[in-house]
Amino acid sequence: MARLKPILAIVVLYKMHFSASPSYGTLNAALRERAELASKIDLLVVDNSPEAQATPADFCGRYVHDGTNSGLASRYNYALREAVAGGATWLLLLDQDTTLTDGYLDELAELSTRLAGEETIAIVAPKLIDVNTLQSPHLPRYRRSEYALDLQSYGVLGGLVRAYNSGAMLRVSALQAIGGFPEAYWLDYLDHATMHQLQVRGGQVYLTQARLQHEMSIHRADKHEDPAHAERHRNQLRAEIRFYREFGSVQERLWHRASLAKQALRSARDGFPAEAMRLMRAAVAVGMVKE
């Protein structure tokens, strides 16, 4: 395999054309137009859609199709193997619908060089903003009343934080040390489980100055209890239960049990009985003692 650049960026598509993906569009354009940036980043697009699609004429990366839709974790682990084989230092995770900015890309390129030798830095995380609120990284939920992350701060963060996949740049050697992305979390809570394991092994989080707009996904079933939405909600709750029982502290499990119970009561009040029952069962399971 040819030698890779310092950063291997992976964009995972699912039932979305190249032209509809802001992540692909903004990154591919930047790599085509800016030689200095292109010298730092390789682009890998993995398509989990049922049917393969033709690559655009201006595509400057590598395209892999896998119609089995085996989950996000397996696709990330594929990219990790490629990064290891090609000698990349960093793996950049991008969902399909995040718009990347020049400031963010410039900062990642600079940090990829400056932090290359600082082995304790395992995660470079952007500030993900939704409606002027910092969504990621964030403190474990039960600690939010103690203090909040400063939106103006940047650099190495102290203590355990939760961070999302989107836009995060992870050290390849640190991912190898934890055995890659945990495929038990094939989609939901994959980010929390991976970031948690990197941190408990001594990896630190470096918070960027750059901000990215990130619309939070909503797992709640709709008022008609649509079967597809309900199944999505069940999958999310199963991963949630697994994560908090596997990695959550006693305080965090108890806090989350109370939060799920409140959600269940609201769902029952609003006329979503099936959703309320799912949430209440999850609340009981989350609060159980770790196995």
Boundaries of every domain in the chain: 7-213, 227-286
Q: Which residues contact 155 (CB under 8 A, 6 or more apart)?
A: 206, 207
pLDDT (average), residues 189-214: 95
Q: Is 280 left (phi over 0), alpha (psi -120 to 50) or beta?
A: alpha
Name the superfamily (CATH) of residues 7-213.
Answer: Spore Coat Polysaccharide Biosynthesis Protein SpsA; Chain A (3.90.550.10)
What's the CA gap between 8 and 79, in Å, rounded? 8
Instruction: Among 55-69, 134-148, 227-241, name the most confident range.
Output: 55-69
pLDDT (average), residues 50-60: 95
Can you give the pLDDT at residue 290? 53
Neighbouring CB atoms inside 10 A of 114's CB total: 11
Amino acid in position 103: G
For a pLDDT cut of 90, what percent of the chain falls above it?
A: 62
Q: Among residues 278, 279, 277, which one has the least CA distance to residue 261?
A: 279
pLDDT (average), residues 36-57: 95
Q: Which residues contact 257 (CB under 8 A, 6 or more apart)?
A: 283, 284, 286, 287
Q: How confident is the model at residue 234 (pLDDT cuts 50, 70, 90)?
A: confident
pLDDT (average), residues 124-147: 77
**Residue 283: is its pLDDT beyond 80?**
yes
Q: Which residues contact 269 (CB under 8 A, 6 or more apart)?
A: none
The radius of gyration of the chain from alpha carbons, rounded to an integer in Å, stands at 19
Per residue in 13-40, pLDDT tens?
999 999 999 999 999 999 999 999 999 9
pLDDT (average), residues 212-237: 68
Angle at 233 between CA 231 and CA 235, to 5 degrees: 70
Task: Give the residue, 176 or 226, on which the prediction is more confident.
Answer: 176
pLDDT (average), residues 168-179: 98
Per residue in 82-97, pLDDT tens?
999 999 999 999 989 8
Question: Quick one: 174 exposed, middle or buried, by C-beta within 10 A (0-12, 13-18, 19+)?
Answer: buried
Per residue in 115-126, pLDDT tens?
999 999 999 999
pLDDT (average), residues 217-233: 61
Instruction: Give yes or no for a contact between 30 and 106, defined as CB atoms under 8 angstroms apart.
Output: no
Q: How confident is the model at residue 58 (pLDDT cuts 50, 70, 90)?
A: very high
Can you give the pLDDT at residue 287? 64
**Residue 221: is its pLDDT beyond 50?**
no
**Residue 218: is its pLDDT beyond 60?**
no
What is the reported pTM?
Answer: 0.90
- Averaged confidence pLDDT in the chain: 89
- Residue 84: helix, strand or coil by DSSP? helix
